[in-house]
Amino acid sequence: MADPHANLYLIGYRGSGKTSIAPFLASALGFDWVDTDHQIEASLNEPISSFFTRAGEMNFRRIESDTIRIVAKTNRQVVSLGGGAILDPANQAILRKTGKIVWLDCPVEILAQRLRADQTQGTGRPPLTSLGLVEEIASVLQVREPIYRSLADLIVPTGSSSPETLASQIARWWIRSVESPNPRDDLGSTSRIDSEE
């Protein structure tokens, strides 16, 4: 049985829907909603993209880890994490200890469409590699996908369903896991929402 006071962490590549789904999910569960990227930007008083360019990825990851440690001290939150937050093993341990983890798994082509739209609106992040966008996503996911998969208590495909629909599916899974009297129905193994209804 899942701890009803635990946090629910949303992980996945940038553009997978974490920030869009989180407020609907928090509302459905009566949880608070926290976006670690938003918290970092508020504490830095500048966009992550400019800090990332100015100070580098290593300094950004250090601040991100500090933010995760602080956020994890509070419970009953839906927490949307930056796409690379899972790279630090210390962050992974904190997430596992303080909540359940949902991986929002989105196809590369859809991620690329969403990230191109972000860039045209001026909200994009600096490139992580010297590759083109689709190639960069595929390359970065080669490293991150096994980590996302190993951390996930639930895997949710996010290619075409609305944030509201996906939030509702995740909320139903969470409620079942909290109410489950049968240990075999617990979250000890990864679940998957296979269809986007």
The domain containing residue 107 runs over which residues? 7-192
Report the C-alpha gap between 29 and 176 in whole angstroms: 12
pLDDT, tens digit (0-9, with 9 covering 90-100), for 51-103: 988 999 999 999 999 999 999 999 999 999 999 999 999 999 999 999 999 99
Report the C-alpha gap between 25 and 36 in whole angstroms: 16
157 versus 196: the higher-pLDDT residue is 157
Please report whether residue 2 resides in a domain.
no
| Mean pLDDT across 135-151 | 94
As a whole number, the mean pLDDT across the chain is 87
pLDDT beyond 70 at 15: yes
Please report whether residue 28 resides in a domain.
yes
Domains in the chain: how many in total?
A: 1
Please report whether residue 197 resides in a domain.
no
The domain that holds 28 is classified in CATH as 3.40.50.300
Please report whether residue 37 resides in a domain.
yes
pLDDT, tens digit (0-9, with 9 covering 90-100), for 169-188: 999 999 998 877 543 334 44
Please report whether residue 42 resides in a domain.
yes
pLDDT beyond 70 at 119: no
Report the C-alpha gap between 20 and 88 in whole angstroms: 24
0.85 exceeded by pTM: yes
